[in-house]
Amino acid sequence: PTTCTAVVRAMPIRRPNGMRMDVDLLNCDSCATESLTHGGIRAYFKKYMKGILPGDVVLFKVRFFHPREYKNPGDFSYGSYLHSRDIVATAYVYGKPILTGDVRGYAIRKFFASFRNKIVDSASSVLKGDDLAVALALSIGDRSRIGNLLRQKFASIGIAHLLAISGLHVGL
């Protein structure tokens, strides 16, 4: 693994098996990563770590990968999708990232991320399970807690579109 320092671009996304976070590399201890400093990295973590905000500088050990591409003509291209978001590689993080500081210029992103975290904390203290998942999806556009079964239930009764347009576009 390579040790890297990076700036967090946006709020980390909670996943069933950890979290995903888009970052911009500041530096790495490997000369093989020079080409990765001209775009972002989509980093995957084994565990969710609360409190990381846009603009935070994190230190972590990582292994880089090129996005998987499927060879079927006309199929979705994950690499093209990432490229459209200025992501040049994916990476798997080993261990826990260390917060080492923050970067100026992210004040508005930090404010809204902190506000969003307060909504999640407040809702989590009152609601649990599917109730919490639906409340967060509808209020702030956080669909990360909606499981396949609940998604299928919404689709079967014809209201799955509510999950797609939820959060008053706060999720954008």
Helices (H), the chain: 78-84, 107-126, 129-140, 148-156, 161-164
Per residue in 20-48, pLDDT tens?
A: 999 998 888 875 555 666 778 999 999 88
* Beta carbons of 38 and 56 less than 8 angstroms apart: no
Q: Measured between alpha carbons, how far is 67 from 158 in angstroms, rounded to an integer?
A: 34
* Per-residue model confidence (pLDDT) at position 22: 93
Q: At what angle do helices 129-140 and 148-156 cross, to 10 degrees?
A: 70
The average confidence (pLDDT) of the chain is 83
What pTM was computed for the model? 0.68
**Does the pLDDT of residue 145 top 60, yes or no?**
yes
CB atoms within 10 A of CB 145: 18
* Per-residue model confidence (pLDDT) at position 103: 80
- pLDDT above 90 covers a percentage of the chain that reads 23
* Per-residue model confidence (pLDDT) at position 32: 57
Nearest to 110 by CA among 101, 123, 122: 101
Per residue in 86-108, pLDDT tens?
A: 898 899 999 888 888 888 777 88
* Per-residue model confidence (pLDDT) at position 43: 94
Per residue in 66-91, pLDDT tens?
A: 877 777 777 888 888 888 888 988 99
Helices (H), 35-96: 78-84
Distances (CA, A) of 114 to 48, 52, 92, 100, 109: 16, 10, 26, 18, 9
Mean pLDDT on 112-123 = 87
Chain centroid to CA 36: how far? Answer: 19
**Does the pLDDT of residue 154 top 60, yes or no?**
yes
* Beta carbons of 140 and 167 less than 8 angstroms apart: yes
